[in-house]
Amino acid sequence: GENVEQHPSTLSVQEGDSAVIKCTYSDSASNYFPWYKQELGKRPQLIIDIRSNVGEKKDQRIAVTLNKTAKHFSLHITETQPEDSAVYFCAATPRGTNFGNEKLTFGTGTRLTIIP
Amino acid sequence: EPEVTQTPSHQVTQMGQEVILRCVPISNHLYFYWYRQILGQKVEFLVSFYNNEISEKSEIFDDQFSVERPDGSNFTLKIRSTKLEDSAMYFCASSEGLAGSYNEQFFGPGTRLTVL
C-alpha cells in the first residue's frame, strides 16, 4: 500500500519568512495530493491540492509543487503570519477503479510555529 | 456552508464496552469515511462506505469494528469491545462522488474516545 513520509516534524519560522514542508510517497499510482491544516483540537481542513498532471499550483501565499519522477511534493507558505501556526498534513491517494474509493494516506504531520 | 457533524464530541468508556460514534455527512454526499488519529500521530484511514456497503477497509478495521447507515442521514461507527489502544480522535468524512474527478473529503470535528 501507499506510504507517505513527511519532513520536518517541527518547523519554527520568523513571521514574514517562508516555510517549506516536504513529502514523499511510494505508490506510483497515486495521482492526487491534498494538504490539510489542523489547528489544535479541530478538524483537518483542506488548504490546497494538486493532481498528477500538474507540476505546480498556487493560491495566494500557498503553493504546492509535485515531482512525479522523484515521487515527492512540497508545500510552500510565503510571508508567514501567526495564524499559519498549526499542524500540516500531506496526503496521497490513487484513483481507484471505483471513484470515491479514494482513501487518503496521510503523512506524519509538521507542527509549524510562526514566531512573531 | 454545510458541514459534517459528529456526536458526541468526547466519549469516555470502560475497556470491553461497546461504543457507537455518530456522524451526519453533508446531505448530497455519497461517500463516507472514518479515520482515526491517536494523540500526536497521523490521521489513519479506517473504512470507506458507499451505497450501503463497505468499499474499502484498512488492517485496523478488524471484526471489532462495524459501520452502518441506519437512516438517510446518520453514519455510525461501532466498536464492539473497546481496548485501551482504541483511545483516539475519530474523524468522519464525506465526499460528493462526482464522476470523473477526485472529490474533496470534508472532515467532521471529531469524537475523542477515551478508553479506561
What is the tens place of the pLDDT at every residue in A39-72? 988 899 999 999 888 899 999 999 999 999 999 9
The C-alpha cell 500526536 sits at: B40
Let me know: does B57 contact B77? Beta carbons within 8 Å: no
Cis peptide before A94 (omega within 30 of 0): no
pLDDT bucket at B100, cuts 50 / 70 / 90:
low
Sign of CA dihedral B2, B20, A1, A90: positive
Report the 10 Å Cβ neighbour count for B72. 6
Q: How far off is chain A from B21, nearest CA to CA, in Å?
A: 16
Mutate to test the interface with B, among A99, A106, A110 (most CBs of B within 10 A): A99
Let me know: does B86 contact B115? Beta carbons within 8 Å: yes
Average of per-residue pLDDT values in chain B: 92
Tell me if B105 and A105 make a contact (CB, 8 A cut-off). no
Residues of chain A with pLDDT under 70: 95-101
